[in-house]
Amino acid sequence: MSASAAEADETARDLLEALVSIPSPSGEEREAAERLAAFFEERDREVWLDEVGNVRAPADDSVLLTSHVDTVPGEIPVGVEESGDGAKELWGRGSVDATGPLAAMAVVAVRTGVSFVGVVGEETDSRGARFLVEDRDAPDAVINGEPSGWDGVTLGYRGFLSGEYAVATDSAHTSRPEPNAIQEAMAWWSRVEEAFEEEDDTPVFERVTAKPVVFSGGTADDGLSVEASAEVQFRIPPGESAAGIRETVEAELDAGKIAWGDPIPPVMESPRTEVARAFRAAIRRAGGDPRLLRKTGTSDMNLYAGAWDRPMATYGPGDSELDHAPNERLDLGDLDRAVAVLEDVCETLQS
């Protein structure tokens, strides 16, 4: 096999298309999870759906392969098309994030006999991963499935913190100069953004990113007050903490209050672990030039790293620029190469 040509892996391609053809937005993963479990049952592997809906197929714990079953919402017609350069691409929601990595890992778990879990809820509250780390012992190594490109390995992610801000003021005629709740909320968020400003040359991975995702306000139903609310998110770089971000945000409160969600810590794995070394060697044997990546988002690997002191990395076929996009599609040649690389890595870690 070379970087320009790989033998088509029909098992992986068929499983991928079958899973992508089943809508599985967060909270509605059951049908896709059952199809994934059937893949293991048909190959005489022990498998079950646990109480939160994760697909559990335990075996050799020298490696745990895990990716998420759920996708973001959005309907993209499923089908294989040929790109301008002749590559075959599978279109469909989840083909990249993260059903491509999920299918690759399921196939490799069967072929090598390592442990596998398809988790639910990654795109919302990571309930599957949160349950998993409480429900089982740590494996010897973890490979999490997210798109990195077949020749890329992700070692770092920023953490995540969410909050819900709410403020209310007495209703008054709009000719009055005093700020109402909407103005209070807007002013608060402006101060928060300013508090996290960085120099333009600071890499995004090393910044706190503050982002409002929902903003609403208006006169209350009883007509006696004006209310405003905002759902906000913060990405936490290594070296920063959720507690520090909360302190900064709360220091900017002149009015109102904020309720915080459970934080997810950042993670930055060493490139010198046995997992990272195995990936570099496998990618080179496949004809690639390994790329070590740091992602500005957050994944379930953050939770695994926080709970298990084990070497780990995130890997999977696909261009992460197509995550959640209306033109989400996966180069099937990349899927083939990723399966071969994963199989090589698992065999190395089993030896």
- Of 265, 252, 264, nearest to 165 by C-alpha is 252
C-alpha 193/C-alpha 198 separation (Å) is 10
**Token pair 């953004």 is at which residue?**
193
Q: Are 258 and 250 in contact (CB under 8 A)?
A: yes
3-state helix, strand, coil in the chain (%, to 5): 35, 25, 40
Residue 4's φ and ψ, nearest 5 degrees, are: -95, -15
247 annotated active-site: no
Question: Active site residue: 9, 122, 140, 240, which one?
Answer: 122
Question: Active site residue: 9, 70, 184, 227, which one?
Answer: 70
44 annotated active-site: no
C-alpha 273/C-alpha 275 separation (Å) is 5
Provide the terminal-to-terminal Cα distance of the chain, rounded to the nearest Å: 22
C-alpha 162/C-alpha 283 separation (Å) is 36
Q: Are 165 and 185 in contact (CB under 8 A)?
A: yes
> Which residues form the catalytic set?
70, 122
